[in-house]
Amino acid sequence: MIKEAIRWADLVHLEDPFPVCWSAAKIAKQMRKPITGTFHLYPENLTASVPILDHGSTNSAFMRLFRDTTFNYCSYFQCPTTKVEQRLKKYNFKSKLIVISNGISDYYLQNNQRTISTDPFTILSIC
């Protein structure tokens, strides 16, 4: 089913670092589809409720796992804040990190962007 969805998509957007997105990232790369992503989940969101796991080394291991299994497949990666961007830079993400927070900055509203295509396109978001 994932393969069929990616086949018709013009772009694949990954939302989280879990197995469905791992698969989608690999398939999209094989099909040469552009891949973007958004950061929503700190490892601490998973480990905080399990004291034996809530340690810096465990959280760093999770972040590397997220990076390597999902997010490094993305050409561009959306960070909701500059704080998130700074943290992800420490983990050497291959993706270009872009901060877009609660709206669109003036930069994206000015006439410094590529020409706008009138061709229809499809974006697939796998959640």
Q: How high is the pLDDT of residue 81?
A: 87
Q: Is 98 helix (H, G, I), strand (E, B) or coil?
A: strand
What are the tens digits of pLDDT across the range 51-76? Answer: 898 899 999 999 999 999 999 999 99
Evaluate whether 90 touches 64 at the Cβ level (below 8 Å). no
Q: Where are the domains of the chain?
A: 2-110
Q: Report the percent of the chain where pLDDT is more than 70.
A: 85
**pTM of the predicted structure, to 2 decimals:** 0.73
DSSP 3-state percent helix, strand, coil across the chain (nearest 5): 40, 15, 45
d(CA 74, CA 26): 10
CB atoms within 10 A of CB 121: 8
Q: Does residue 127 surpass a pLDDT of 60? A: no
If you average pLDDT over every residue of the chain, what do you get? 88
